């Protein structure tokens, strides 16, 4: 909201306030934040009036002239000017050397095409006084010389731009701000003496409240013989400074009053009100209403309208009707000053997308006690500006407004200090409250506080405490760390805290594996998901754009996009390595349509995923042949390390080709170089090479390894953060090692070989590991040469060679029998 310093000065003595900045500080300290201070003379500080004594042609340039100007005193100044519209004797606007004009131009002394110029003669455009202008600004001949242009033009006001909070509807006017400041400055705000209208002297138009409490009050006034015309200059300027365009004297009066008192009012052309009656009623479904802005709206039947006998003539609290508009030539008018239900106004304003100044004030609530005063002031102002005579005034109120109930807040004065933790005695609190127009009724140590009718935000004792605190200043509140009264009952939170800690543990592990954490938006486009064969079951109703229309069912499409973007942004011949991970929720609507199931459940399942995308060199630095490219076993290592640091138990890897489950996500993986991660019977996720076909479709320039694990499953199978890994002892006795060179047939996997060895060599065979694999000319076709080392030991004694020998024999037999494996000769 915009507040004029000059206007405020008419209501208050601002002599003790340290200028606009001081006022801004005071308001901000009281909770009315000042966002900006706009001086109207900004950029005009060094622009003064001057008279052209003579105009001479520039010897070097046809389009330039040399003007010798006087500012009334001192020597004439020589100015080079490019405009053509000035003559000797003209009074003009001179930007003196050192000016920084509103358009950003800096005026310096210098030569223009060889001729000294000591300033600039300005156009209205350059001074931002007009959008466009031809030539320089020529002022009236009688304008005094050497005076600041801002003063001559009456641009001497300063506007404070306030960012009001939603609870302070009472401050949406100059009067409201003055009232608030008066409390701070210990003053009484001034307002013009006023004669109230006589609401018993009914005019030609009757008022009917057909919507009960949705429109509990309506005050009207009929004025005849007005002369609609332009407003005086001071009103035009004041309105413009505050961001409102002047229309005509009647409409301007209503708008000015809105800015002065914060109460929306409206003037109708009385001749266009059919049947001599005004009704406030609920709109009829499908009813149409032409509005002041020239458009016609179709009403839903929920809005409140102002109507005459026949039709709607205004959207109550939002905007007047075009069918009853005051225009040049209107001579009989009818004034409205009413109260409407904030919710009804807010809904209508939203529905018809017209969040007008009026609607913004009604939806925050207006002072219900002020209506007689406001309409009397409006009538007086219109008669002052447009003439006319009052034909009558009328009022309609529901019983709730005829005898209004005001909230009473009970509190003991000691409460303020107890609650706020700042020194507040009854002697301090009482004058503050009285200064804020509260009534304080005392009964022993109990206070009953009745807030003023315009403070709709004050209804509980905490509200009163805030009034005290902000009046004294929040800086007076003490500072202490509260004592812990007892341990929190945190079973609920402990579970969440543990899971949060476990997520951090997973992030740390992936970071140590050289991956960078990324955060993608939870939303994406349907089109992008479709490229991955995915659809979302969790769409947004009002997305920011098509790019953000649905919640993600998987983190992989986002990570692949990240990789593509990184590659696209990278200049140079190398393919930049991608090592990204993300642990974030994925979203699944479990019902056909998303709706709240109860107070706490949305029916949208949030399943956290741990996902990654890796591509490029194995090392960040080093010579090319040493770096190598990441392959399957690097990715497998990342996951094994992750499971180890999480203490994850019961997770198995199975070749994707052997998967028995069906899921769209499988299509994203190379069938021979990917893994289905199993947890019991459940699928816990997938990892492997991004399918080369998909990669080609999406123009992925390098092999990309991706994975997505269900973090819900994984975290359940992982060691709880409050459990510590148990110590395991090792054998102090020397082991015996045996190496075997085996010929292995098609389809026998490495893990089978080691599993069989460990089983057959029980209990002494403790470790079996593959240490070399060879296929080639030295081996019979279709066979693979595999080198296996088996380590035998006993925790409690040294082994005999013969024991290892017999265990080895058993292992060889089992290999032969179960896997058809032979020793390589």
Partner 1 sequence: MIKKLEEISAQALRDLEAASTLEALEQVRISVLGKKGTLSDVLKTLGSVPAAERPAIGAAANEWKRKIEAAIETRKASLENAVLQAQLERDRVDISLPSRLPHRGSLHPITQTTRKIIEVFSRIGFDVVTGPEVETDFLNFEAVNIPADHPARDMQDTFFMGPGVVLRTHTSAVQMRTMRNQSWPLRILAPGAVYRNDSDATHSPMFHQVEGLWVDRDVKMSDLKGTLLFFAREMFGADAKIRLRPSYFPFVEPGAEVDVSCFLCRSKISDSCRVCKGTGWLEILGAGMVHPRLFEMAGYSEAVRSGALTGYAFGMGVDRIAMLLHGIPDLRLMFQSDVRFLKQF
Using an 8 Å Cβ cutoff, are 712 and 777 in contact?
no
Whole-angstrom CA distances from 302 to 97, 191, 316, 345 are 62, 39, 11, 10
Helix (H, G, I), strand (E, B) or coil at 215: coil
| Interface pick for partner 1 out of 519, 572, 660, 729 (rule CB under 8 A) | 519
| Interface pick for partner 1 out of 63, 200, 403, 484 (rule CB under 8 A) | 484
Minimum distance between the CB of residue 433 and partner 1, rounded to whole angstroms?
A: 15
Q: Does 664 bind partner 1 (CB under 8 A)?
A: no
306: burial class by Cβ within 10 Å (0-12, 13-18, 19+)? Answer: buried
| Interface pick for partner 1 out of 2, 10, 26, 28 (rule CB under 8 A) | 28
**Interface of this chain with partner 1, residues 594 to 623, rule: CB under 8 A:** 594-596, 598-604, 606, 619-623
Minimum distance between the CB of residue 40 and partner 1, rounded to whole angstroms?
A: 23
Which residues have CB under 8 Å from 483's CB, separation 6+? none
Q: Does 627 bind partner 1 (CB under 8 A)?
A: yes
Q: Does 130 bind partner 1 (CB under 8 A)?
A: no
Minimum distance between the CB of residue 516 and partner 1, rounded to whole angstroms?
A: 4
Q: Does 569 bind partner 1 (CB under 8 A)?
A: yes
Minimum distance between the CB of residue 300 and partner 1, rounded to whole angstroms?
A: 15
- Tokens of residue 414, six digits: 């000691």
User: What is the phi/psi pair of residue 637, to 5°?
Assistant: -65, -40
Nearer to partner 1, 527 or 597 (CB): 597
3-state secondary structure 365-405: CCCCCCHHHHHHHHHHHHHHHHCCEEEEEEEEECHHHHCCC
Using an 8 Å Cβ cutoff, are 650 and 679 in contact?
yes
Q: What is the CA radius of gyration of the chain?
A: 41
| Interface pick for partner 1 out of 160, 177, 440, 578 (rule CB under 8 A) | 578
**Interface of this chain with partner 1, residues 72 to 101, rule: CB under 8 A:** none
| Interface pick for partner 1 out of 14, 153, 551, 683 (rule CB under 8 A) | 551
3-state secondary structure 435-495: HCCCEEEEECCEEEEECCCCCCCCCCHHHHHHHHHHHHCHHHCCCCCCCCCCCCCCHHHHH
- Tokens of residue 744, six digits: 């292995």
**Interface of this chain with partner 1, residues 319 to 348, rule: CB under 8 A:** 342-343, 346-347
Q: Does 506 bind partner 1 (CB under 8 A)?
A: no
| Interface pick for partner 1 out of 78, 300, 331, 562 (rule CB under 8 A) | 562
| Interface pick for partner 1 out of 171, 411, 420, 556 (rule CB under 8 A) | 420
**Interface of this chain with partner 1, residues 359 to 378, rule: CB under 8 A:** 363-364
Q: Does 128 bind partner 1 (CB under 8 A)?
A: no
Q: Does 354 bind partner 1 (CB under 8 A)?
A: no
Minimum distance between the CB of residue 5 and partner 1, rounded to whole angstroms?
A: 22
Q: Does 480 bind partner 1 (CB under 8 A)?
A: yes
Nearer to partner 1, 471 or 659 (CB): 471
Nearer to partner 1, 121 or 515 (CB): 515
**Interface of this chain with partner 1, residues 206 to 265, rule: CB under 8 A:** none
Contact window for partner 1 (CB under 8 A) among 144-152, 521-529, 684-692, 731-739: 521-529
d(CA 815, CA 783): 15
Q: Does 479 bind partner 1 (CB under 8 A)?
A: yes
Minimum distance between the CB of residue 668 and partner 1, rounded to whole angstroms?
A: 19
Residue 199 DSSP symbol: T
| Interface pick for partner 1 out of 481, 633, 658, 728 (rule CB under 8 A) | 481
> Binding residues for partner 1, how many (CB under 8 A)?
110
Contact window for partner 1 (CB under 8 A) among 143-151, 299-307, 590-598, 769-777: 590-598
Q: Does 712 bind partner 1 (CB under 8 A)?
A: no
- Tokens of residue 113, six digits: 């095409």
Whole-angstrom CA distances from 768 to 74, 634, 723, 729, 810 are 105, 21, 30, 19, 14
Using an 8 Å Cβ cutoff, are 271 and 332 in contact?
yes
Whole-angstrom CA distances from 770 to 63, 326, 785, 790, 820 are 92, 95, 11, 9, 17
Number of residues assigned to the chain: 825
Q: Does 435 bind partner 1 (CB under 8 A)?
A: no
Maximum distance among all alpha carbons in the chain? 127
Contact window for partner 1 (CB under 8 A) among 224-232, 492-500, 690-698, 723-731: 492-500
């Amino acid at each position: 909201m915009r507040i004029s310093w000059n206007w405020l000065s008419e209501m208050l003595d601002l002599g003790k306030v340290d200028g606009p900045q001081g006022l801004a500080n005071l308001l901000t300290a009281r909770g009315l934040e000042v966002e900006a201070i706009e001086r109207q003379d900004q950029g005009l500080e060094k622009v003064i009036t001057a008279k052209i004594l003579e105009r001479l042609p520039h010897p070097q340039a046809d389009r330039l002239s040399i003007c010798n100007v006087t500012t009334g005193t001192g020597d004439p100044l020589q100015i080079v000017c490019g405009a053509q519209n000035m003559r000797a004797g003209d009074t003009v606007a001179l930007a003196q050397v050192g000016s920084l004009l509103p358009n950003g131009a800096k005026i310096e002394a210098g030569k223009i095409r060889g001729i000294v110029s000591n300033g600039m003669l300005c156009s209205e455009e350059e001074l931002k006084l007009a959008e466009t202008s031809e030539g320089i600004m020529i002022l009236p001949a009688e304008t005094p010389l050497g005076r600041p242009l801002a003063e001559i033009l009456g641009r001497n006001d300063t506007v404070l731009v306030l960012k009001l909070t939603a609870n302070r509807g009472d401050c949406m006017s100059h009067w409201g701000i003055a009232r608030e400041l008066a409390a701070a400055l210990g003053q009484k705000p001034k307002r013009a003496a006023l004669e109230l209208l006589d609401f018993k002297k009914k005019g030609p138009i009757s008022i009917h409240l057909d919507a009960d409490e949705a429109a509990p009050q309506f005050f009207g006034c009929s004025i005849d013989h007005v002369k609609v015309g332009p407003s005086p200059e001071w009103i035009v300027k004041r309105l413009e400074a505050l961001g409102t365009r002047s229309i005509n004297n009647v409409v301007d009066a209503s708008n000015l009053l809105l800015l002065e008192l914060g109460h929306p009012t409206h003037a109708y052309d009385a001749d266009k009100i059919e049947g001599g009656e005004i009704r406030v009623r609920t709109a009829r479904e499908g009813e149409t209403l032409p509005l002041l802005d020239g458009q016609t709206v179709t009403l839903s039947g929920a809005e409140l309208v102002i109507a005459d006998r026949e039709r709607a003539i205004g959207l109550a609290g939002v905007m007047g009707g075009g069918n009853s508009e005051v225009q040049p030539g209107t001579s009989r008018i009818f004034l409205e000053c009413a109260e409407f239900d904030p919710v009804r106004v807010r809904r209508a304003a939203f529905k018809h997308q017209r969040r007008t100044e009026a609607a913004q004030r009604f939806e925050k609530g207006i002072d219900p006690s002020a209506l007689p005063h406001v309409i009397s002031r409006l009538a007086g102002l219109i008669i002052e500006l447009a003439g006319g005579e009052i034909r009558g005034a009328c009022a309609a109120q529901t019983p709730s407004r005829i005898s209004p109930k005001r909230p009473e807040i009970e509190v003991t004065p000691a409460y303020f200090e107890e609650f706020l933790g700042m020194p507040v005695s009854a002697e301090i609190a009482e004058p503050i409250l009285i200064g804020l127009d509260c009534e304080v009724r005392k009964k022993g140590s109990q206070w009953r506080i009745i807030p003023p009718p315009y403070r709709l935000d004050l209804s509980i004792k905490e509200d009163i405490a805030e009034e005290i605190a902000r009046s004294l200043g929040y800086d007076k509140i003490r500072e202490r760390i509260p004592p812990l009264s007892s341990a929190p009952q945190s079973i609920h939170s402990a579970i969440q805290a543990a899971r949060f800690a476990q997520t951090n543990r997973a992030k740390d592990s992936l970071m140590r594996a050289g991956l960078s954490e990324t955060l993608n938006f939870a939303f994406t486009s349907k089109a992008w998901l479709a490229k991955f064969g995915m659809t979302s079951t969790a769409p947004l109703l009002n997305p920011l754009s098509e790019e953000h229309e649905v919640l993600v069912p998987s983190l992989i499409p986002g990570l692949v996009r990240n990789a593509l973007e990184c590659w696209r942004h990278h200049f140079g011949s190398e393919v930049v390595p991608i090592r990204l991970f993300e642990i974030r929720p994925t979203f699944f609507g479990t019902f056909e349509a998303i709706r709240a199931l109860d107070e706490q459940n949305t029916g949208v399942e949030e399943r956290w995923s741990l996902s990654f995308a890796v591509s490029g060199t194995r090392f960040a630095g080093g010579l090319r042949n040493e770096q190598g490219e990441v392959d399957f076993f690097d990715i497998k290592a990342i996951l094994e390390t992750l499971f180890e640091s999480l203490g994850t138990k019961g997770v198995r890897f199975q070749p994707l080709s052997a998967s028995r489950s069906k899921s769209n996500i499988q299509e994203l993986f190379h069938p021979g170089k990917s893994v289905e991660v199993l947890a019991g019977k459940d699928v816990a996720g997938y990892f492997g090479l991004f399918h080369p076909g998909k990669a080609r479709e999406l123009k992925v320039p390098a092999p990309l390894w991706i994975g997505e694990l269900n973090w819900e499953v994984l975290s359940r199978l992982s060691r709880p953060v409050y459990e510590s890994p148990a110590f395991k002892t090792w054998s102090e006795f020397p082991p015996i090692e045996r190496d075997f060179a085996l010929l292995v047939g098609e389809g026998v996997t490495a893990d089978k070989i080691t599993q069989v060895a460990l089983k057959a060599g029980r209990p002494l065979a403790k470790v079996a590991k593959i240490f070399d694999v060879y296929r080639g000319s030295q081996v019979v076709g279709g066979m693979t040469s595999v080198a296996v080392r088996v380590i035998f030991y006993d925790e409690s004694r040294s082994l005999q060679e013969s024991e290892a020998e017999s265990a080895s024999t058993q292992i060889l037999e089992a290999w032969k029998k179960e896997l058809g494996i032979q020793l390589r000769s």
